[in-house]
Structure 1
Amino acid sequence: MAVTLTDIQREIHRLSEELIQRQEPDGTWRFCFENGITLDACTIILLRTLNADQEELIRQLHDRILAAQEPEGCWRWYRDDGEGHLSATVEAYYALLFSGFSRPEDEALQRAKRYILERGGIGQAKSLLTKAILAATGQRAWPSSLSLIPIEILLLPESFPLNFYDFSGYSRVHLVPLLIMAERNFRARTARTPDLSELFSSDRDPDEEGLLRSPESREALDQIQSALAHLVGTPRRIRQAAIHKAERYLLDRIESDGTLYTYASCTVLMVFALLALGYEAQHPVIQRAVEGLSNMKFTVDGSDLGESGYGYITIQNSPSTVWDTALISYALQEGGTVATHPAIRRSAAYLRDRQHHRAGDWQIHNPGVLPGGWGFSETNTFVPDVDDTTAALRALAALHTDDHATLDAWNRGLNWVWSMQNHDGGWPAFEKNTDKVMLTWLAIEGAKSAATDPSEADLTGRTLEYLGNFAKLGIRHDWVARGADWLLSHQQEDGSWYGRWGICYIYGTWAALTGLMAVGMPADHPAVIKGADWLGSIQNADGGWGESCRSDQARRFVPLRASTPSQTAWALDALIAVHDQPTPELERGAARLIELLHEDGWPASYPTGAGLPGYFYTHYHSYRYIWPLLALAHYVNKYGDGAP
């Protein structure tokens, strides 16, 4: 269909009105941060192991998992997830059985069982979280890769060339409980624990064994062992000191809601680790953790789901309230909602209250800087990240010049973002200069993507976009120019950029192009032309854009063969930033985006958020509002009758 400015303005108005109506009285927007069935399954397994009185929640999570099973008997992370996902299927099967609401002879479990056995049994599940849950509940041995990382690594001073704080923050909070449990060879079985032994042909993992024998893995482990040789004391005393430090590490990072780092995944592991240390199931710390985990549930209304049509309860890994609130407030303002509107004022007050004032682990690599960032979740008080901080600052931009409280928040936030720039010129997610490649060689599944927190194109591009469009800084400033140079040096041969936290090359290319244009890169720069041409080359026949989650494993663009609202909006927004006048591809993209917003097929719920390649993907329920509104607003602001 042909699209007119009137069509686009009508859609902006519709989206804006719906979002304003959905705002909560406290100024927030609360959408589901959906992460497949893994956390639902892990929560059931934990609650049953603790004999927790949570029958209603267990039943709700059971029903959600069961409804997501595919006809082949498997579970998938996303629609085109090959022949299914073995780790997710193992987790689902185990949780359904452990819940007590499904029986081994049920047809659904029989199909799942056949699927698992046909793929070599439970021992072939690759996810470290899956292996850990199975080991913690006595179903398999602890992975040998964990036993080769001594828990004494926690005792190494931060001044050592290789130490525990060289791991990324999000890997540390998962690694510590794993090291505690592996050291204790912990196994928690109850009278209700199912016996999965018939589903094991072997718990040998040939891939893990190959990694353990690799020269790179051996070099990393040798470096750790060499550093540990400097510790003074008897082996027994050193081991006890390390275990005590590991325990303190966990306890010191529990938020007010009882969760560890506000992540459900590491909270589950923490509870098992505390049990391994001798804590009783009724201990207040464990009870608060369970309560916090339970409060991470989200009730998805069936009326919002299009073709799937049923409502369900799911456990979010980390509720996205701050992220969604900041982005929606910003998108509304770009769409014409004035900063004095009550919805914007309420969201600004909420965001100011959520700015961090507590010290955090990020200061280890960035000392002497005052807290000033924002985190992803409402209860997050000391784990800020660059992307959430720039999102909050965009939302506050129109208010910071005439409101003292907002100006103070703005200045502290901008200073924090500036301070987080890596030595190489790019920006990380959580911690500065946490990029020692050696740690990615460890024989731990996911280490390549999770062990470090390096500069990324999406984070660097988004930061530059904020600095250029909102802080009015450009490549004439040395540190901004260094960020732009980092992006230029990390462009792929085909013109795209890889995005770490979204899917994937569309996401990274959008962030890079909008960032470069915002800080003053000319539209005729070869890198800009190449990036825009690449986006044009992958546009679908229907005018939209879509990319498969498989891209992050293949490390190349894999087309989805369908258009999604968020990816279409990202591509459209990038091209708007580059082109002075609407092009045919832009007009087709805008028309298709509007169509997508009125369709309820599977592309509307396809996950376009990335967590861990191959193992963790996110469907942000907010994304079909945020990014389309933003792209359409930018279209009108640039090409409309009243545009400058």
Structure 2
Amino acid sequence: MASPIRPMSSCIASALPRFNSCQASRADFEIPVSLRSLFNNDNGAFLSLSPLLLLAVATLLCSLLAAQYLSRTPISQLGHVGHRGRVHFSFKERTTGSGSRLVDWFLYGGCVWIRALQCVWDHMAGGRMHNAGDEMAVSQGENLFACMGVAKDATLGIGNEHAAAPTSKKPQETNTLTGILGYDSSLGSLGPLVLAPMRASCFLLIWLAASDFLVSTHRELTTWIASTDRSVGLVVSAASFFIDRTEQVMKIGSAVESFAETSMGDSIFLKTAAYSIVFVLLGEIKFYVLGMVCSFFKIYVPRGVSHPGGPRPHKIARMPKWTGGKDHYLPEDALKANWRCAVAHDAHRATLTNPIGPAKLSGEPFGRQIWTTVPNRSSDGLIETEDDLEMKLRDEFGVKSMNGNKPETSKKNREQTKIADQNIFSPILGFVQGILPNSDNNEKPGQSNDKEMSHMKVLVESLASGGRTPMAFDPSKNPNSCDQPFRSQMITQFLEKNGGRLPEELSYLHDENGTVPKPTCAIDAAKRGVAFYSMLQTTDGHWAGDYGGPHFLLPGLVVAWYILGRPSNMISAEHGALMLHYLRVHQQEDGGWGTHIESPSTMFGTTMIYLAVRLLGGNKHDEWVKRGREFIKNEGGAIMTSSWAKFWLCLVGCMDWKGHNSVPPEMWLLPNWFPFHPGRLWCHCRMVYLPMGYLYGYRFVYSDAETDPLIAELREELYCEHYDSIQWESTRHLVAEMDNYSPIPAFMIFAQNILSLYENWSIFRPFRDAVRKKGLTFCAEYMKAEDQQTNFIDIGPVNKALNLVAAFHAAGSDVNHQAVQSHIMRVPDYLWVAEDGMKAQGYNGSQCWDTSFAIQAIWECKLLDHFPLLSSKVWAYLERSQILSTETSKASPAYQYETPTSRERFYRHVSKGGWPFSTSAHGWPISDCTGEGLKGVLALMDSPVVMAAVGKGVLKSIEPSRIHDAVNVMLTLQNEDGGWATYENNRGFGWYEELNPSEVFGDIMIDYSYVECSMASLTALAEFHEKFPCHRSDEIKLSICRGKEFMKSIQREDGSWYGSWACCFCYGCWFGIEGLTKAGESHSSATIRKCCQFLLSKQRPNGGWGEDFTSCYDKDYARKGMECYGDEGSGVVSTAWALLALSAAKCDDVNAVRRGVQYLIDRQLDCGDWPQEGISGVFNRACGITYTAYRNVFPIWALGRCSSVYGSSLVQPGAEDK
């Protein structure tokens, strides 16, 4: 459709009458008379802007015309972003004829203008620090000038109906939450040569709008406002200047005054910019030139911050070492306690067995997993639980449980369904005894020999052992647990429900002669793997597993427990025994503990664990405790540990606050446009330093620290000199070399010294006291919001423990306060039991992440309908796990915070529609988790069996609108560099890392774009587009194109990609190739070939690939592969990642692929499992984390894909072996 183009003056003349004739709504706001002088241009301090305005508009229009020419796209389509969900216009009145087309042209142009303003503000003034996942409604009658008000952080808005939405009300269902940050369908189509002048002109325009000058050039607007008696308002928002958005206003001169309360009961305020002063000082031309220079600087000068860099010049040289030769078993008392893993509603019931006070559990129960000694109980019948769902599915697919009983309906029925006839296992005993390692020298407590075990227990423990000694742990062989207690429990439940029969694919284990046939091909091995893994699926449909690894997490929870008075409903005696066992068995030969289980000993890990051991009741005279103390003192005492450990020591009273650098809570009072603002930090970093600031601001110390004899002992045990003689101020910057992964830069040390003066000099006290009070108030409000948005789970275990202590302080040290008890009820969400004891996980699990990968693996094996119960349960889990999308989640407190106002105030991106890493109740969506969750749902849509169950109402449907919500989350999370970060858009700058105070972690300050997040989001959008080509089609195609270019831009010179969230280059290469090929990159492109050559060069002689966490730490491929805990340097997980990458690239080196596939087949255990090898995950460059599910999921996936891509080529003619 051709758009009539007329002179600018004629266009404005055509637009203004519509504005004058429009019918304003009561949602509009009021402009006080005292401010009208701003818009009448009669203030002598202000300059005439007509020439400058015309110059800016002319530049903008030229950019639009150039974009139209370059993209061959009509301007109307180029600017019309509303129908793609970016900016929406709700037309209250619609006219016909060429005049309406002309107005539409300006509306579209206005949208582009607004988006340009937004993007400029993102880069120059920091507008990106707020997610704007909002869809703004603007009436056509409000005209061109009102269109400027659509963008939330760079706004000239009239009658914005969402601006004053109170937090106490739920968001309206009709208020679709779409984003206006990250990818943009208009500006994204422009190249740098066009984008630079457009940004320059819009950079100028936003400064004008911020200073109220733009409005002052249009007397018709103000005349209409002055003449009407309707409630009309103006909000000019350029930078969201104020933390207290209900009281403060920016005063520039005497013109700006405080607004009065409106009839709506909300405080209306003017948020303007100090840039008006810059304009007055520089004048028109200099101001415009400055805007041009800044714009070009932003485009061409700064380097990309998302390239991880490397290799590091200083490689890790030390290796962990444990005293070997002894298998450790769980304490006998722990075995008698009958620990079990409860999930979903069962977990809720276990938690609420002994409730204290009015605290309640909220949020979606699906996915929750806790370890408890509370026996399982039947459903109350009031709600449909996961057990009820499984019963329905079994009936649907003709899979009956033993005796036809409902699974686990009561203790009596559970006893009936246990296997009474042990003879059914007799044929399997030969197989079992053949795979059990010799454990004659390691007698289990309370067990004289294996003959006293029931046949079922022998079978279950052998199946769950992962090829190790059942229920034994020896860190000198491998410090990674293989999840034997959980897997034993799940296999037991499976056998009880299925009459003692293993899955059909494993029926050979029932053969009386005990022979185990070798898999005939890759897909045969994959079927065995899926069959085994199906036994581990929980009743609500997800797969659980050990997500531990870091050693510094559990001590934080222990310190919080001790400060609260050691409540037994948080950590009981049974908990304490398992925790002490875990801490003891992971102690290394030098007496210390690492930052994580595969790390050499560090002061960070050792100090934290020693503190926890003593607080849990460890005897200081025990030999292993002495050795830990000696390690600390040999390294200079606790003054040499890292800042995070020092913080916990300060809280419990084992270190003076003068020994810790300042964490001022008043930082939150900085204006949001300030270049460094805590709201710009990566959310994990931000949510840790938020409670740290609160507790530091109050100088919180355990109330009994001065009288508690244990604290007095610790003050002597942790230091090399007498506690009272330590000059604490001089220890602030001390840190042991072994902890110093990211040395604090000189500028940050200087800043910390300045803050020390600020904290200690009395001259600053009046100011400090005034602002600190407000800062502490905001921190308390923000922490409360975080608690409720996550249903008291919180984003991770570190801020969970800190928020708990802060809630305890805010409650006046009342441990029975509702907020404190709500926190305590969610502590079990972070605890996990394995054969090495009880540990704290890095999250409340990896449920959704692991499950999404697993179902895609099974889909690629073409086995979804072969395992109908498994597939249907995954559908049910993913349906219930989508954030703020189910009735239960919408009834939670978290939904109250999904309003634009609340998300802006608490720096949250849109959550509704995303998928989490763990559970819906956790409440934090992540780009890659949303992508993988969506791909899991799309894969299940290909299953006729699952879709039939949905059609019959056995399974709940997932409406298209919910799928669209997920797509919206991913589109709004795309950064301007084309990549995707984790939770939010990149809000900060690369130089933030110069302010990293953690010492032990790298690249934690901002949310970078990652190859993993980019691939997951990009491929999800591509697969969605294949199934739903009409929804936001142009936007999605352009998003995919930009994502592909980003992924190519961060490829390393050697052809690899650095994996930031797992170990490491094999993982990154899989994501890189997978993303590019799904985005349309040719398999024969230089980018793909280069990566394939890198992988082929790393294949080991036995056919596999292997890496350990040193690849991540050093940012260089581990030279000896998985030397310590793999198989001759290879590992099944690394091999699977490499094969996934090569097969996605259709690598023509079939022999290399064949050797890799044969390696996976050879390493598979007879039961279909694979052995647990080295640690798979990593975060923050330097810390490993466990994913026990990976050893099952990725080999299955690789075997299925290679079988599909290479088929019979994997079998070498005439060859009997590899």
TM-score of the aligned structures, taking structure 2 as reference length: 0.48
C-alpha distance 38-161 of structure 1, shift in aligned 2 (>3 A): closer
The equivalent of 2:622 in structure 1 is: 106
Q: 1:603 to 1:177 in 2, by over 3 A?
A: farther
Counterpart of 2:840 (choices 305, 315, 339) is 315
Q: 1:564, 1:596 within 8 Å by CA — same for their partners in 2?
A: no
Residues 1:211 and 1:15: Cα distance change in structure 2 (over 3 Å): closer
Q: Secondary structure at the match of 2:799?
A: helix
Distance in 2 separating the partners of 1:181 and 1:366: 21
Q: Which residue does 1:23 correspond to in 2? A: 537
Structure 2 equivalent of residue 539 of structure 1: 1099
Match in the other structure for 1:91? 608
Aligned-partner Cα distance in 2 for 1:136–1:490: 42
Kindly tell me: are residues 103 and 92 of structure 1, through their superposed partners in 2, closer, same or farther at Cα, counting changes over 3 Å?
A: same
Q: Which protein has the larger Cα radius of gyration, Structure 1 or Structure 2?
A: 2
Instruction: Confirm whether residue 330 of structure 1 aligns to residue 849 of structure 2.
Output: no
Separation in structure 2 between the aligned mates of residue 327 and residue 296 of structure 1, nearest angstrom: 22
The AA in structure 1 aligned to 2:1094 is W
| Counterpart amino acid of residue 1019 in structure 2 | E
Compute the RMSD of aligned alpha carbons.
3.5
Report how far residue 582 of structure 1 moved. Answer: 5.5
Structure 2 CA distance for aligned equivalents of residues 200 and 597 of structure 1 = 50
Instruction: Identify unmatched segments of 5+ residues in structure 1.
Output: 227-232, 301-309
* Deviation by residue 1:31-81 (Cα, 9 ceiling, x = unmatched): 221233332333233223322222211111111111111222222356763
Q: CA deviation at 1:124?
A: 2.0
The answer to whether 1:70 aligns with 2:588 is: yes
Cα distance, 1:87 vs. partner?
1.4
User: Which residue number in structure 2 is paired with residue 230 of structure 1?
Assistant: none
Q: 2:634 is matched by which residue type in structure 1? A: E
Return the alpha-carbon distance in structure 1 between the equivalents of residues 735 and 909 of structure 2: 43
| 8 Å contact kept, 1:597–1:624 | no
* 1:303 match: none
Q: Which moved more, 1:237-246 or 1:151-160?
A: 151-160
SS in 1 for 2:1179: strand
> Aligned partners of 2:752 and 2:1046: how far apart in 1?
27
1:519, distance to aligned residue in structure 2 (A): 1.3
| 1:393 equivalent in alignment to 2:393 | no
SS at match of 2:839: strand
Q: Cα–Cα, structure 1 residues 599 and 514, in superposed 2: closer, same or farther, change >3 Å?
A: farther
Q: Is the 8 A contact 1:145 1:443 kept in 2?
A: no
- The question of whether the paired residues in 2 share the 8 Å contact of 1:376 and 1:385 is answered with yes
Give the equivalent residue in structure 2 for 1:215.
747
Q: In structure 1, what is the equivalent of residue 668 of structure 2?
A: 154
CA distance in 1, matches of 2:1178, 2:585: 23
Q: CA deviation at 1:382?
A: 2.9
TM-score for both structures, normalised by structure 1: 0.87
Give the SS at the match of 2:826: helix
1:363 and 1:513, CA in 2 relative to 1: closer, same or farther beyond 3 A?
farther
The number of equivalent residue pairs is 620
* Whole-Å separation in 2 of the counterparts to 1:103 and 1:599: 44
SS of the aligned residue for 1:552 comes to helix
Q: Deviations over 1:447-501 (max 9, x none)?
A: 7422111101221123333334554499993221211111111111221111211
Say whether residues 1:422 and 2:975 are aligned partners.
yes
The Cα offsets for residues 229-272 of structure 1, whole Å up to 9 and x where unpaired, read as: xxxx9643322111011011111111588634242221111122
Contact 1:5 1:640 in 2 (8 A): no
**Partner secondary structure for residue 450 of structure 1:** coil
2:816 partner letter? Q
Which secondary structure does the structure 2 equivalent of 1:299 belong to? strand
The structure whose RCO (Cα within 8 Å, separation 6+) is larger is: 1
Distance in 2, Cα, partners of 1:76 & 1:599:
34
After TM superposition, give the deviation of residue 22 of structure 1 in Å: 1.9
2:1190 aligned residue: 623
Percent sequence identity over matched residues?
Answer: 22
Q: Which amino acid aligns with 2:1017?
A: T
1:254 counterpart SS class = helix
Structure 1 match to 2:814: 280
Q: Residue 74 of structure 1 contacts residue 89 of structure 1 at CA under 8 Å; is this kept in 2? A: yes
- The C-alpha deviation readout for 1:339-379, integer Å capped at 9, x for no partner, is 58232122112211221224569965999967211111225
What's the counterpart of residue 779 of structure 2? 246
Match in the other structure for 1:437: 990
Q: Deviations over 1:514-538 (max 9, x none)?
A: 1111111112222211111111112
Query: 1:135 and 1:502 mapped to 2: Cα distance?
Result: 33
The aligned counterpart of 1:632 is 1199
The structural deviation recorded for 1:212 is 6.3
The amino acid that maps onto 2:650 is: A
- 1:375·1:388 contact (CA, 8 Å) conserved in 2? yes
Structure 1 match to 2:1152: 585
Q: Which moved more, 1:590-599 or 1:314-323?
A: 590-599
Whether contact under 8 Å (2:911, 2:924) holds in the other structure is no
Which letter does structure 1 place at the counterpart of 2:979?
Answer: G
User: What is the CA distance between 1:400 and its match in structure 2?
Assistant: 4.6
Letter in 2 for 1:327: F
Question: In the alignment, which residue of structure 1 is the partner of 2:574?
Answer: 56
SS of residue in 1 equivalent to 2:543: coil
What is the identity, as a one-letter code, of the residue corresponding to 1:326?
S
Letter in 1 for 2:746: S
Query: What is the one-letter code of the residue matched to 2:1203?
Result: V
> CA–CA distance in 2 between the matches of 1:452 and 1:287?
33
**1:454-603 counterparts in 2 under 5 A?**
454-469=1008-1023, 471-472=1025-1026, 477-559=1037-1119, 560-561=1122-1123, 562-579=1129-1146, 581=1148, 583-598=1150-1165
Using a 3 Å threshold, how does the CA distance of structure 1 residues 258 and 281 change in structure 2: closer, same or farther? farther
Counterpart residue type for residue 528 of structure 1? I
Aligned partners of 2:1135 and 2:1160 also within 8 Å: yes
CA distance in 2, matches of 1:120, 1:220: 23
Secondary structure of the 1:9 match is helix
1:305 paired residue number: none
SS at match of 1:313: strand
Give deviations 1:85-112, integer Å, cap 9, x for gaps: 3211222222112211x21121111222
Give distance in 2, aligned partners of 1:579 and 1:186. 59
The 5-angstrom pairing of residues 134-173 of structure 1 reads 134-142=649-657, 146-147=661-662, 149-173=663-687
User: Contact 1:36–1:77 (CA<8 Å) still a contact in 2?
Assistant: yes
Query: C-alpha separation between the residues in 1 aligned to 2:1207 and 2:1191?
Result: 23
CA distance in 2: counterparts of 1:369 and 1:383, whole angstroms: 9
Contact preservation (8 Å) 1:123, 1:205: no
AA at the equivalent of 1:628: P
Separation in structure 2 between the aligned mates of residue 124 and residue 366 of structure 1, nearest angstrom: 35
User: What is the match of residue 451 of structure 1?
Assistant: 1005
Structure 2 counterpart of 1:266, one-letter code: N
Distance 1:222 1:98 in 2: 35
Distance 1:366 1:182, change over 3 A: closer
Cα distance in 1 for residues equivalent to 2:910 and 2:590: 53
Query: Is the CA contact (8 Å cut-off) linking 2:1018 and 2:1043 kept in structure 1?
Result: yes
Residue pairs, 1:173-184, within 5 angstroms: 173-184=687-698
AA at the equivalent of 2:883: H
* Matches of 2:627 and 2:659, distance apart in 1: 31
SS, match of residue 700 in structure 2: coil
Q: Deviations over 1:187-210 (max 9, x none)?
A: 213444341434324745445999
Q: Which residue of 2 aligns with 1:35?
A: 549
Distance (Å, rounded) in 2 between the aligned partners of 1:76 and 1:368: 35
Change (3 A) 1:219 1:392: same
Amino acid at match of 1:451: M
Alpha carbons 2:1106, 2:1130 under 8 Å: kept:
yes
